[in-house]
């Protein structure tokens, strides 16, 4: 069976480069024979497409077509077809997209540069929308002023997630309207994580891989965090409890460390460790080797 037609925008202008897809087909007889999804063709500069789709038997099939381009997906077009026939004059209209803009800031309303912005349909609707040809989601990055815009979004409700190193991720629900740029009513305020960086060492071999950090809190309770140490032993622990005066490190194949006195710096990507042997505070800053505190594990 041959399918021919054209993809246009809402103004009737031809759309080049649109992917035309057969979502599926089911026969109208008692056997309800089904055929699956197939990428049919891509439109040319004039918006036209032509492709083949294989059906068998003499029954009439209900065939479903869609077109998509850069995140926008047309409504489903249903055709009554028979195997071996040629269908010309099919017209598919791509919807107009919308966009979302906003700003990412810290607790002091300072712009956060380079934050990762991802927009995805809510989990409750994601499977159905992806099956219809909708993209799983779209992404963007905040600029020097913390601002971002994510364009070419299908009209509907989305979940917007913001991630930035050193901050707890934030989520916002937003409704996109076709042909409209939706400006978030207020900046997205990110909460800084309290984190510690360090390097694990051992006298006869280099520790690496997954480990557990157990924090003893001021009230006597404990909190456990797991992380992955790089092959060279470098490690980063995020979301460290702010009132934890002591920590113990456990890694398979090594003896646990004794309690290590620490003093986390609230909302900072740094921390203070107390070097008990020298009785002095050591600051760990960033991920540069010179800034690490070395914790020695025993085999």
Label residue 238 exposed, middle or buried (CB < 10 Å: 0-12, 13-18, 19+). middle
22-65 pLDDT, tens digit per residue, is 998 998 887 777 788 899 999 999 999 999 999 888 889 999 99
Instruction: Return the number of other C-beta atoms located less than 10 Å from residue 36's C-beta.
Output: 8
- Between the alpha carbon of residue 150 and those of residues 125, 167, 175, 204, the distances in Å are 20, 21, 13, 51
pLDDT tens for the chain, residues 1 to 299: 899 999 999 999 999 999 999 998 998 887 777 788 899 999 999 999 999 999 888 889 999 999 999 878 898 999 999 988 999 999 999 999 899 999 999 988 999 999 999 988 755 555 665 555 555 568 899 999 999 999 988 888 888 999 987 788 899 999 999 999 999 999 999 987 777 777 887 777 788 889 998 888 777 788 899 999 888 888 888 777 766 777 888 888 888 877 777 665 454 444 433 333 322 222 232 222 223 355 555 54
**DSSP per residue over 155-207, as a string?**
SEEEEEEEE-TTEE-EEEEEEE-TT-EEE-SS-EEPEEPP-EEEEEEESSS--
pLDDT at position 135, please?
54
Superfamily of domain 2-93: Carboxypeptidase-like, regulatory domain (2.60.40.1120)
How many whole angstroms separate alpha carbon 153 and alpha carbon 135? 9
Domain borders along the chain are 2-93, 98-192, 196-297
| 98-192 CATH | 2.60.40.1120
98-192 has the same fold as 2-93 = yes
The per-residue pLDDT for 10 is 92
Question: Which is it for strands 98-105 and 188-189: parallel, antiparallel or unpaired?
Answer: parallel
CA-based radius of gyration for the chain: 28
Cβ(233)–Cβ(199) under 8 Å? yes
pLDDT at 103: 97
Least Cα distance to 223 among 238, 209, 234 occurs for 238
What kind of fold does domain 196-297 have according to CATH? Immunoglobulin-like (2.60.40)
Rounded-to-integer distance, Cα 111 and Cα 106, Å: 7
Encode pLDDT of 246-288 as tens digits: 788 888 888 887 777 766 545 444 443 333 332 222 223 222 2
User: pTM to 2 decimals?
Assistant: 0.60
Res 132: pLDDT: 56
284 by Cβ neighbours in 10 Å (0-12 / 13-18 / 19+) ranks as buried
């Amino acid at each position: 069976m041959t399918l021919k037609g054209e993809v246009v925008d809402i103004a009737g202008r031809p759309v080049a480069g649109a992917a035309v897809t057969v979502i599926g087909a089911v026969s109208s007889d008692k056997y309800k024979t089904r055929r699956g999804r197939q990428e049919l063709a891509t439109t040319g500069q004039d918006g036209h497409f032509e492709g083949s789709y294989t059906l068998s038997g003499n029954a009439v099939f209900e065939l479903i077509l869609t077109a998509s381009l850069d995140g926008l997906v047309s409504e489903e077009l249903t055709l009554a077809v028979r195997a071996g026939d040629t269908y010309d004059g099919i017209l598919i209209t791509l919807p107009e997209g919308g966009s979302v803009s906003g700003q990412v800031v810290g607790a002091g309303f300072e712009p956060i540069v380079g934050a990762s912005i991802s927009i995805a349909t809510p989990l409750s609707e994601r499977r159905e929308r992806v099956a219809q040809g909708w993209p799983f989601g779209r992404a963007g990055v905040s600029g020097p002023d913390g601002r971002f815009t994510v364009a070419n979004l299908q009209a509907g409700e989305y979940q917007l997630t913001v991630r930035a190193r050193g901050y707890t991720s934030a989520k916002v629900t937003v409704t996109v309207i076709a042909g409209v740029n939706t400006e978030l009513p207020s900046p997205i305020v990110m909460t800084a994580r309290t984190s510690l960086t360090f390097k694990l060492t051992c006298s006869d071999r280099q520790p690496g891989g997954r480990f557990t950090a157990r924090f003893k809190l001021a009230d006597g309770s404990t909190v456990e965090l797991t992380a992955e140490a790089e092959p060279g032993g470098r490690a980063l622990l995020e979301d460290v409890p702010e009132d934890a005066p002591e920590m113990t490190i456990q890694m398979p194949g090594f003896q646990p460390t004794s309690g290590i006195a620490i003093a986390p710096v609230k909302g900072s990507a740094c921390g203070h460790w107390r070097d008990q042997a020298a009785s002095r505070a050591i600051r760990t800053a960033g991920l540069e080797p010179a800034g690490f505190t070395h914790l020695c594990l025993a085999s």
